[in-house]
Amino acid sequence: MTNIFLSYARGDDVQRNDPATSWVQRLARDLTAAKFDVWFDRLSLPSRGLTFHQEIRDAIAACDRLLLVVGPQAASSEYVQQEWQFAWFEAEKVITPILRQGDYPLAIPELALLHAEDFRDDSQYAVHLKELIRILNDPPSTLGKLIGVPSLPAHFLSRTDRLIPLRDAVRSGLDTAAPFGGTAARQQFHGIAGTSKQVGVHGMGGIGKSVLANLLAHDREIRKAFPDGIVWVGLGSVPILADLMRRVHKDLGGDGAFATEHEGKLKLKELLADKALLLIIDDAWRREDVDAFDVLGPRCRALITTRDAGLLTSLGGTHHVVELLTDAEALRLLAVAADKPLAELPAEAHQVLQHCGRLPLAVALAGGLVVAGTPWASLQKAFERHKLEFLENEQSAEPQHRNLWKTIEISVQALPDEEQTRLVELAVFPEDEAVPEAAIATLWEQTGNLDDLDTQQLLIKLKRRSLIQVTASGTADSSSIGRVSMHDLITITASVAPSRCMSKSRRWTTSC
């Protein structure tokens, strides 16, 4: 039996000829009669407050499909958005939208390309119900596997206006790409009939490039377009290219048996020649590192993220820039990161936002401090007191960097000294590499006498505060939370912050 999670906004749930009864209830009844198991009554949840509860996540995770009743209220509802976003990006569920009110294209842009049965006219209900039942019984399409793709942040903004053009750019020309041989097979990065096979994303550190690339990787339309998988390669400033190539080769079913980068490139080219795959090259610093992965077959595409716009210019292809959040986005991110409904954010939250400078990393960290129990007013005061002087920092010209560093420093200093020390110790691991929990446990056992449980608890705490990211290990080991990575801006700030009061000769000082 197919399990369906029915997502809707109460405000859209009107039965035109009989306002007292629920249209959604009628739909649920009819689908149940058609042998679907329908989960829809989220209002009956005992702890259904205003935030996104575990019960909802569990219910969505247990369903086969999410049926979304689209209307103006659903399009603007935070709850509905959390439901479909969780289903789409994280729980890998098929979403079937239906239009109850409003117009085409659907008011939820991410879903606008999906077919939505038209349920606006009640006199046509039976016809559309029959078609909906047929659609719901269709087997779901094959999705490309996510290979090495990090987990999404616990709370995320889908940043639609950037995601959709990126999705279009990445898929462009795919339909015309010949699967095997011919001219198309000889095309490498630069494309088919004028279409580029690589798409670049640039923007300053902490602006959300990697999260955007990650959202794209999780997008079902992208996963349908690349049935052989979405492969993530994190480069960073000093990548060990041969190791990364070996990992990709093995992950795609090869033997990874090559000694040099040159050999690796040839073998990867051979392997990808007939695959439909998206390669995400995250955090590129140098042209030659990107060139090492110039291995794409005609049905492959590459997405490259970098802080360096010049690097993308030298590569050619289409470019997208990630800019600061809008005020509205920053507010929404602060609400989700603080685990509070938007409407309940106090006036101080707006002032906190001003200090964060609309930078996602800074906003996420500020939200993490609230989750950790810091009252809004104290947070605001901390920002006001904390006057940083950036003396010779090459990034100091940008006011948003000052905001970022200030937020990172406040977040680090909100931890007890011992925990700050543990966080700083994570800098011993190679930059940009996700470290297994077990390796951290070994380190912290030596340095801080922490046992496995202490380590796990501290990692969970750091994750909740957005100071680290955790990627599920993908193994059956349920005792591990996964692999851990830390944003390099946090590594740098965390390393400097605790000692800054002792050494005034640092390249920047604070008013400590």
Q: Binds 374, which of Mg ion, ligand ATP, none (CB < 5 to 8 A, cut-off by type)?
A: none
The CA-based angle 200-408-373, given to 5 degrees, is 120
Of 283 and 437, CB closest to Mg ion: 283
Using alpha carbons, select from 104, 148, 152 the residue that is nearest to residue 246.
148
Q: Which amino acid does the sequence have at 392?
A: E
Binding flags for ligand ATP, 249-288, as an x/- string (CB under 6 A): ----------------------------------x-----
Residue corresponding to tokens 């939208």: 97
Q: How far is the CB of 485 from ligand ATP (least distance, A)?
A: 9
Please select the residue that binds ligand ATP; options are 66, 67, 177, 361, rule is CB under 6 A. 361
Q: Is the peptide bond before 105 cis (omega within 30 degrees of 0)?
A: yes
Please select the residue that binds ligand ATP; options are 8, 36, 89, 156, rule is CB under 6 A. 156
Q: Report how far residue 245's alpha carbon sits from residue 250's, in angstroms, rounded to the nearest whole number.
A: 9
DSSP helix/strand/coil, 256: coil
Please select the residue that binds Mg ion; options are 85, 96, 196, 210, rule is CB under 5 A. 210
Interaction between residue 306 and Mg ion (CB under 5 A):
no
Please select the residue that binds ligand ATP; options are 14, 67, 207, 295, rule is CB under 6 A. 207
Q: Report how far residue 400's alpha carbon sits from residue 27's, in angstroms, rounded to the nearest whole number.
A: 49
Of 132 and 362, CB closest to ligand ATP: 362
Q: How far is the CB of 261 from Mg ion (least distance, A)?
A: 23
Q: Binds 299, which of ligand ATP, Mg ion, none (CB < 5 to 8 A, cut-off by type)?
A: none
Among the listed ranges 82-90, 207-215, 287-295, 401-409, the one in contact with ligand ATP (CB under 6 A) is 207-215
Please select the residue that binds ligand ATP; options are 208, 298, 317, 482, rule is CB under 6 A. 208
Cβ atoms 355, 406 nearer than 8 A: yes
Q: Report how far residue 300's alpha carbon sits from residue 17's, in angstroms, rounded to the nearest whole number.
A: 52
Q: How far is the CB of 158 from ligand ATP (least distance, A)?
A: 7
Of 192 and 468, CB closest to ligand ATP: 468
Among the listed ranges 2-10, 119-127, 437-445, 486-494, the one in contact with ligand ATP (CB under 6 A) is 486-494
Of 13 and 283, CB closest to Mg ion: 283
DSSP helix/strand/coil, 498: helix
Using alpha carbons, select from 222, 227, 123 the residue that is nearest to residue 163.
222
Question: Parallel, antiparallel, or unpaired for β 469-471 and 483-485?
Answer: antiparallel
DSSP helix/strand/coil, 46: coil
Helices (H) then strands (E): counts for the chain: 22, 18
Q: How far is the CB of 151 from ligand ATP (least distance, A)?
A: 11
Q: Binds 466, which of ligand ATP, Mg ion, none (CB < 5 to 8 A, cut-off by type)?
A: ligand ATP
What residues contact 359, with CB distance under 8 A and at least 6 apart?
206, 207, 324, 325, 400, 403, 404, 407
Cα four-point dihedral sign 436, 438, 444, 447: negative
Binding site residues, ligand ATP, CB under 6 A: 153, 156-157, 159, 203, 205-211, 283, 307, 333, 360-361, 364, 466, 469, 487-489
Binding site residues, Mg ion, CB under 5 A: 210, 283
